Chains A and B, each alone.
Chain A
Amino acid sequence: MYKKIIWPLVIGSAFVLSLLFVSGFIVSIVISGNDDTAQTETEMDMEIPESEPAEDMPPDGASDILVLGDSIGFGVGDEENLGIGERYLNLLDDDSETGKTVTNISVPGFESSQLASLIESDEYSASISSAELIILSIGGNDLNNLNLEDTATLTLAFDETLNIYKENLTFILSEIRSINPDAQLAIIGLYNPYSDDAPQNAPFLLEWNHETRLIVNSDVGFAYIPTYELFDYHLDEYLSPDDFHPNGTGYQAIAEILFRILN
């Protein structure tokens, strides 16, 4: 009796399930996309933004402060969504009405290599060439994406990442200089959001900042903005709830030190 029931059950369910799986399988192939169509689609998409900024640029191009780089430049974590650029401008405006504007083309998550290719693409050359002050924040993601397993591999990986970063930074700075020979550049140094949890990693960060500083010192129009010491003693006050990005107070502190160094 039992044997009589199980056979139709097995064959029936196997049939239904096969149909289900085959259809799911076909859908997966369609979703994950034939590479050729995906490519043409993206290429078409890519063409539009390329022409757009060129048209939009001239009115915006007159902005005086340009913020370039990663999430710190973008202002992630800032409750008032001002970021370093706007906060710096507010400090300037306290002294005198300047009527200057800020353009922020930072992309959260950017690594130095991505910024290098963005600058190489000439997409934002107009913004760069018209800017008076360029605030640059980069490198944090390079360093943060290192997979820290043990000390030996970490040192190796760190050295490699640092070398790539140095090349990229040199390239970015020289490229910006060739587009705009007069602008003042401010490079935001890295702070250590993990100084409570992992104090043993601090030497790496210090070496990183030191190398950045050496590159930045190669030109009089470049300023290095240290944030390490600033954050080290005020981690609780300056970090946003994600424990990585600064909060409004943190950004204000960076903007103030920037203001003090440049003026």
Chain B
Amino acid sequence: MIALIRNEVMKMLWKKKMPLILGLLLIFVSLLSYGQNYAYERNIEQFEAESGTAAFNWEGLTTQRLSELEERSQNEFIPEEVRASIDREIEQLNYFIENDINPVTPTAAKFNVSFAEQGIILFIPLLIAILAADLVSNEFSRKTIKILLTRAVPRWKILLSKYIALLIMTTLLVFIIGLTTTLVSYLFFQEWGFSEPIVTGFTLFEGTLNSDSTILIPRYQYTLLIYSLVWFVSIIVASITLLISVIVDTSASAIGILMAALIGGQFLQFFLSDWELVKYFFVTNLDLTRYLTGSYQPVEGMSLNFSITILSVWAIGSIAISFIVFNRRDVLV
């Protein structure tokens, strides 16, 4: 079994796909971080030109905001839980002032999180699809499936080894995405920013976003949390791609079908947002990171737990169907 998995991992590693995925990733990450850095410098320049002062004085603005918050926190008419969330913001701003960090400076830690947030709906699933789409279908189109199936191993073992190999590669790929975004953006920004505090832990309360139970955690922990969610989503997408790959004969159509599902799902979400069934579609639930950042419009009945459940059901369903189909499929020469 381990030999089988090893064989599958090696197949994936030595094909041209890995350089292709890494190349795509590098190009996008470099472009995005260059763009962000450029925009940031332009903003500062513009601000300085407008205000006429020599240097952009973020400290003044931050201190002012801080003193306002402190004033508010002392107001006895403010409910206790609101005060707690104000206190957390005070703590965050204090960190920035004490460590002499401008809160809006782009840093590598901020960039890798925002890349994951933006990419989790389309770009990262797409990379996973490139990785997974030809897993089975390629064996069919190149007729190598016969050689595989003539071995004295049951069919389910072959598919299982392929699936495990895919999980291993997906895990590595998520790590590589995180690593690349961090390193490349550091080259542009020259700031790590991994120990800055950030607010997270938003909850839904009576249909509105609630910041009362938020907590303050350092950026590196936050990055880890975000990438854990990306990892989960990637595994779900990999499982669904496996199903498509088992059903269709060529890897091109496998990628095509997955792309259509991803993009079509976004359209569905956009046009039919009132329709109850849309929230049970897997694409609608891919955007898990928004539950941590708190930057979303609450949809009735949708929460992190709900999305995770729906995605798990889709993945388990896909794996089950894949195994059934693969076991029963007639292989014609």
Contact surface of A with B, Cβ cutoff 8 Å: 3, 6-7, 10-11, 13-14, 17-18, 20-25, 27-29, 31-35, 38-39, 41-42, 45-46, 48-49, 53, 56, 74, 76-77, 81, 103-105, 107-108, 124, 240-242
Contacts and interface: CB of A to CB of B under 8 A. Distances in A.
7 A-B pairs closest in CB distance: A24-B228, A38-B203, A49-B79, A21-B231, A25-B228, A14-B168, A32-B304
Contacts, number: 124
Nearest to A39: B205
7 contacts: A41-B213, A42-B203, A42-B210, A49-B81, A53-B77, A104-B75, A108-B72
Contact of A241 (B6, B9, B61): B61
A81 B71 contact: yes
Interface stretch (B21-29, B121-129, B171-179): B171-179
Contact of A22 (B68, B200, B228): B228
B212 A10 contact: no
Interface of B: 6, 9-10, 13, 57, 60-61, 64-65, 67-68, 71-72, 75-81, 167-169, 171-172, 174-175, 200-206, 210, 212-213, 215, 224-225, 227-229, 231-232, 291-292, 303-305, 308
SS class, residues of chain A in contact with chain B = helix
Contact of A31 (B67, B175, B204, B292): B292
Contacts of B229: 24-25, 28
Given A32-B203, A45-B80, 13 more contacts: A3-B10, A6-B13, A17-B172, A17-B175, A28-B291, A32-B291, A32-B292, A38-B204, A38-B213, A39-B206, A42-B213, A45-B79, A53-B77
A35 B203 contact: yes
Contacts of B225: 24, 27-28, 31
A29 B308 contact: yes
A10 B206 CA distance: 46
Contact of A242 (B6, B61, B77, B232): B61
A45 B84 CA distance: 11
B291 A45 contact: no
Given A7-B6, A49-B79, A74-B72, A35 B227 contact: no
A247 to B, nearest CB: 10
A50 B168 CA distance: 53
A127 B99 CA distance: 42
B10 A20 contact: no
Contact of B64 (A24, A108, A240): A240
A60 B224 CA distance: 48
Contacts of A242: 61, 64-65
A55 B172 CA distance: 59
A104 B213 CA distance: 26
